[in-house]
């Protein structure tokens, strides 16, 4: 009996990805920036994070599983390899204040905004609380 590849028709139409590039979401609030990356199959030990030159960079590697002796790949679509995702952050970000957590292959980074970028409400003085402006020197 001749064995045929059950994925032949499937693989002929499936797009191929060369390297692993984890998808990322970035949200911004009044107080911080949140970066979330999907890293299926990875653990915290597989990932490193650094802040340098105004960029937050997440490095890692998703390794292809080792096959048992006598086993070969018939079809493969999952991407593997080293990756780096780099995001520009505002000047003045405190590296020690960045928080990172990983749960079920989802990495979340919370980057507090520098104080200079946080909104500040300006109160309007009236009456006795009002300061007089000094006239400009001529």
Whether 88 is covered by a domain: the verdict is yes
54 domain residue, yes or no: yes
> How confident is the model over 33-53, as a mean pLDDT?
94
In a domain, 45, yes or no: yes
Position 127 scores a pLDDT of: 72
Render pLDDT for 74-84 as a digit per residue (tens, 0 to 9).
888 889 999 99
| Residue 22 burial (CB count, 10 A) | 20
90/46: higher pLDDT:
46
Nearest C-alpha neighbor of 54 from the set 28, 101, 82, 87: 87
For the domain that residue 85 is a member of, what is the CATH number? Answer: 2.60.40.790
Residue 4 in any domain: the answer is: no
Q: How far apart are CA 81 and CA 103, in angstroms?
A: 21
Lowest mean pLDDT among 69-73, 109-113, 125-129, 130-134: 130-134
Residue 12 within a domain: no
Is 94's pLDDT higher than 70?
yes
What pLDDT is attached to residue 122? Answer: 82
Q: Is 43 part of any domain?
A: yes
pLDDT at 11 over 50: no
In-domain check, residue 8 = no
Domain that holds residue 44: 18-64+77-114
Q: What is the pTM of this model?
A: 0.70
∠ CA 91-95-100 to the nearest 5 degrees?
120
Number of domains in the chain: 1
Query: What are the φ and ψ backbone dihedral angles of 12, each rounded to 5 degrees?
Result: -65, -25
Residue 46's pLDDT band (cuts 50, 70, 90): very high
Question: What number is the average pLDDT over the span 89-115?
Answer: 92
136 occurs within a structural domain: no
């Amino acid at each position: 009996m001749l064995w045929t590849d059950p994925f032949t028709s499937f693989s002929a139409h499936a797009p191929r990805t060369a390297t692993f590039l984890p998808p990322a979401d970035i949200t911004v609030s009044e107080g911080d920036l949140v970066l979330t990356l999907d890293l299926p199959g990875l653990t915290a030990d597989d990932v490193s994070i650094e802040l340098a030159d105004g960029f937050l960079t997440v490095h890692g590697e998703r390794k292809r599983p080792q096959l048992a002796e006598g086993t070969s790949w018939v079809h493969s679509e999952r991407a593997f390899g080293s990756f780096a995702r780099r995001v520009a952050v505002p000047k003045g970000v405190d590296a020690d204040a960045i928080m990172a957590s990983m749960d079920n292959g989802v990495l979340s980074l919370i980057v507090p905004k520098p104080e200079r970028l946080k909104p500040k409400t300006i109160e309007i003085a009236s009456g006795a609380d009002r300061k007089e402006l000094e006239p400009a020197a001529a």
